[in-house]
Amino acid sequence: MSLKRFTEHALSEWMRGKGPQSDIVISSRVRVARNLSGLPFPMLATSSQSSEVVRRVEDALGQAKEHPILQGAELVRMDDLSELEKRVLVEKHLISPHLAEESRHGAVVLSENEAVSIMINEEDHLRIQCLYPGFQPQEAWKAADELDDWFEKHLSYAFSEKTGYLTSCPTNVGTGIRASVMVHLPALAITQQLGRLFPAITQVGLAIRGIYGEGSEALGNLYQVSNQVTLGQREDEIIDKLQGVVKQMIQHERDARERLREISPTQLEDRVHRSYGVLSHARVISSKEAMERLSDLRLGIDMGLLTGVEANVMNELMVMTQPGFLQQYAQARLDSDERDIRRAVMIRERLHDPDGNG
């Protein structure tokens, strides 16, 4: 398998299928944090100790030839990637900004369909991540749990009978699980209801973050909803709470969409088609405006106001128009103005060829 497979295609194979509630929920992710016993956590590890972590994981993978998920997986070292290639993997949610920018002797194991991403020497020695399309946190947890069990048979984890799995960040101690769902909430944003909804969500122990996790900006009305604490909670409790809250968010978004359809149908349709017109004909467009316009388009597609464009094309464009992917595609460093021009060209071509045959 070539590294180009991961950096030259915007849409991962797992994203091509439609999951439950996919008109609002883009994806579900479960990440499990683990550390190896007898070695310092990454922030305190020497170069040789960090390399030893990679070696142990690589040895374990050598025994995974028959594993249904790990078969054909590829280990990629961060030192072998260009800065642009790292950025593309961040934009595809396959690695974290921390692994791309700050990790020493970091690496990532990627499955063929990119639904599994195992970060090595990020904040913890291992971060096992499983991604599913739509609203499927239970399914993502089942896959992550299976992988975790397999690795635990081949690696010795740092574990305390009193507190559970030991992690670099205290909020991950215990189960070490972080479950998140990426939701698209344009109608709640248009009707200005997010200001009331988000505080209520944080009060029940969940966090609202931008599309690339902690510290990132919420672009295109996309938000990650995840648990904040793992200590003292069972995995099923964490998943159940997340599912229950997100179900309520989905219903609020659906209600907001119906209100927009009933109260201001012409204005809503005008908003969608104006954004389509800008994206179809603009010669220069910023990343922020592109995400806002793509959000309008996705809303129009999901509400049946715009035909001829598939929702997956919007998912693809949301990655293709990011700075790293644009520059990787161009095979050149681009300044801000050049990226804005290339972004407009890419969007025009993709919208006029929705099947990707051009």
Q: From the annotation, which residues make up the binding site for ATP?
A: 27-31, 93, 127, 178-182, 209-214
How far apart are the C-alpha atoms of 307 and 331, rounded to whole Å? 33
Cβ atoms 107, 121 nearer than 8 A: yes
Q: What are the start-end ranges of the E strands in the chain?
A: 25-34, 74-77, 107-110, 116-120, 126-133, 159-160, 164-165, 177-184, 206-209, 222-227
Tokens of 1: 């398998």
The one-letter amino acid at 305? L
How far apart are the C-alpha atoms of 111 and 57, rounded to whole Å? 14
**Distance (Å) of CA 313 to CA 167, 242, 354:** 38, 28, 7
Annotated binding site: 27-31, 93, 127, 178-182, 209-214
Tokens of 165: 């799995």
**Distance (Å) of CA 159 to CA 30, 151, 152, 164:** 20, 14, 11, 6
How far apart are the C-alpha atoms of 234 and 60, rounded to whole Å? 27
Q: Who contacts 336 (Cβ-Cβ below 8 Å, separation ≥6)?
A: none
201 burial via Cβ count (<10 Å: 0-12, 13-18, 19+): middle
